[in-house]
Amino acid sequence: MPPVPAIPTPNAKPLFSYRRHWAHRFGTAPFLPMSREEMDLLGWDSCDVILVTGDAYIDHPSFGMAIIGRLLEAQGFRVGIIAQPDWQNASNFKTLGEPNLFFGVTSGNMDSMVNRYTSDRRLRHNDSYTPGGEGGKRPDRAVIVYAQRCREAFPNAPIVLGGIEASLRRIAHYDYWSDKVRRSILLDAKADLLLYGNAERALVEVAHRIARGGIKQDFSDVRGVAFARSATPEGWIEAPADDLEEPDEGRRRKAASDDADRIVIRLPGYEQVAGDREAYARASRVLHRESNPGNARPLIQKHGDRELWLTAPPIPLTTPEMDSVYDLPYARAPHPSYMGAKIPAWEMIRHSVTIMRGCFGGCSFCSITEHEGRIIQSRSEGSILKEIETIRDKTEGFTGIISDIGGPTANMYRMACKDPETEAVCRRPSCVYPDICKNLDTSHDALIQLYRKAREIKGVKKVMVASGVRYDLAIRSPTYVRELVEHHVGGYLKIAPEHTESGPLSKMMKPGIGSYDRFKQLFDAAARAAKKDYFLIPYFIAAHPGTSDEDMMNLALWLKRNKYRADQVQTYLPSPMALSTAMYHSGFNPLKPVRRGASEPVDAVKGMRQRRLHKAFLRYHDAENWPVLREALKAMGRADLIGPGKHHLVPAWQPAGTGKAGEGKRIGYKGRPQPGAQTFLTKGVLRPEPRPKV
């Protein structure tokens, strides 16, 4: 097998090359302690680091607190965990005593607001990361609340934020739930440091530095870190975000200057982006352009009299480092204190394997790139196969089925830029949009070989692929599609074309529907050859910025022609820091240059009535929606789509007792935003239309 291509980033100290902290002599804990009694059994008088998390503690590498805790343990630190504490007062935060180094605070594997609320702001009554699936075990804005309670418990203990909630809220950001721009979560939490992205490299460096010299030191040379300071230090050259759209030649001259490594980019300040939507869009565009570890520069953003400072993005882990992280001594089970209670997230992933991180797709509505980066970090084949054997031998309830072998996507394993020098200077937000980059190696050979070896492991009956397949890449390898269909699909395969129309697709940075059609041809042909009755289950988005009512009508017609019906529909919520969220909030397109008076506008679907219409188009077959759709089609001049024929979208008649919910509702048309309401993303889980009985 060819070696994994080198990552074209500056040199980084190897993750496991540090001299271990003196406490390594205590050895490895069977589970990281959650109580004083467990600490006593380990012979500890204190913890060096205490991790506070909104998730139940599951000692498995699919859960952030387990990776972070075991990594710090491997560096010689004593790590305790406070999982889902009662946040009403500080008493639970004193359970393990005061940490010698710092509190590490995270909301868990999800943003706490996404976890607690539906996209129409209704409180969820379940939580997949809690024993019994019980809801209400974490607060709103958990990172802020937990940090406050840590400070109340031990006023002098340093606080370091991490995880996805901190990562996606690291600068001034639009918050969907409060419908306003909020400050960086670092400042609202009054924490000392924030580590963003997959933060192993920064975490290890920061922990060793705090152990040597405390929290009051300069961390500006550590990548992937955010902190506040009073002013820009001497020696740095500020480049205003307004000037970054200069001609290529000027940009090259600036990059080639002797002071290139001392340039820091000033984003529009919090007060400015909170009151100026065009400035918000510009800040979002600059943040995303400064995301390549090979050429990104530090960012600063003023918040009142404080300067938020973000160092350049973290350098991705090498394959040996990834292997070492996933080979740490995880117990691969929930903490015994849960007494065997079912934890839905654990039940879902207990027999799955993560093979890579990152995504170079750059879809504007997705937060993977903002958090994990666009450079693919892959584990070695040997490490993955070893984990499958470990699951077989040590994970309770294993029946021979690996439930998923993938990551953020199913088929980006070991893919990388062919030219490291080109990758080091690239600022494209996506390697596959508008077309697949000529410098991208799209070979699926390594993944096919991995699949074949995985299913040859003794005791493994089937290896499923449940992660999303990037179909525009897959069509470049018909062999991969055949391999997938013949061995790794169980009845149906989920796939995400997201829309059929060029308007919304261009704002999503997704390929045209032609790529989906080609993949479906390959999929169906492989299924016929294998004599299997398999189906594709496509996902679609409604009400994404840039989507008109006509776009949704055309999508509904496509669904009907292809005999698809949406069984379930969930609505879109703009996640912090995503590009589509900037479109939604600002009304401008950050995928294009944002210049005063010359920015490209984007219509956002915000009205609740227009949201109902877009949902109704996606569920055109539901009689409850027919009155709304008939009214809309007439207003759009498309009454020709009302009738009993196959070419009609909805019938002219109404079944008794249906459709009352939609009657008398006025609908917004042609993509015009309705003031005072919200935009939503609709994803439909589709099933083939039933065949008529003969």
pLDDT at 385 > cutoff 80: yes
* pLDDT of amino acid 570: 67
Q: Please provide residue 150's backbone torsions phi and psi, each rounded to the nearest 5 degrees.
A: -60, -40
Helices of type H across 96-194: 112-116, 142-153, 164-167, 185-188
The pLDDT tens digits of the residues spanning 318-346 come to: 999 999 999 999 999 999 999 999 999 99
The pLDDT mean for the chain works out to 90
The pLDDT tens digits of the residues spanning 244-299 come to: 665 444 454 454 455 778 899 999 999 999 999 999 999 999 999 999 999 999 99
pLDDT at 676 > cutoff 60: no
Summarize the confidence of residues 617-628 as an average pLDDT: 94
**CA–CA–CA angle 581, 685, 611 (5° rounding):** 45
Beta-bridge partner residues of 160 = 104, 193
pLDDT at 8 > cutoff 70: no
What single-letter amino acid sits at 436?
I
**What's the whole-model pTM score?**
0.91
Q: How confident is the model at residue 596 (pLDDT cuts 50, 70, 90)?
A: confident
CB proximity list for 539: less than 8 A, separation 6 or greater: 494, 495, 496, 497, 498, 683, 684, 685, 686
C-alpha 605, offset from chain centre: 23
The pLDDT tens digits of the residues spanning 536-571 come to: 988 888 889 999 999 999 999 999 999 988 776 666
Helices of type H across 22-119: 36-42, 64-74, 112-116
Domains belonging to the chain, first-starting first, are: 24-216 (3.40.50.2300), 231-304 (no CATH), 350-488 (3.30.750.210), 493-592+600-694 (no CATH)
Summarize the confidence of residues 44-73 as an average pLDDT: 97
* pLDDT of amino acid 242: 75
Q: Are 642 and 572 in contact (CB under 8 A)?
A: no
* 212-220, long-range: CB < 8 A, 24+ apart: 214/158, 215/102, 215/158, 219/193, 219/311, 220/298, 220/309, 220/311
Q: Are strands 237-240 and 263-266 parallel, antiparallel or unpaired?
A: parallel
Beta-bridge partner residues of 494 = 537
Three-class SS string for 455-473?
A: HCCCCCCEECCCCCCCHHH
Q: Are strands 193-195 and 404-406 parallel, antiparallel or unpaired?
A: unpaired
Summarize the confidence of residues 343-363 as an average pLDDT: 96
Q: Which of these, 566, 546, 493, 556, lies nearest to 524 by C-alpha position?
A: 493
Residue 562 has, within 13 A of its CA and on its CB side, a CA count of: 20
DSSP SS3 for 494: strand
The pLDDT tens digits of the residues spanning 409-455 come to: 999 999 999 999 999 999 999 999 999 999 999 999 999 999 999 99
What single-letter amino acid sits at 154?
F
Query: Which position has the token pair 């490299």?
Result: 201
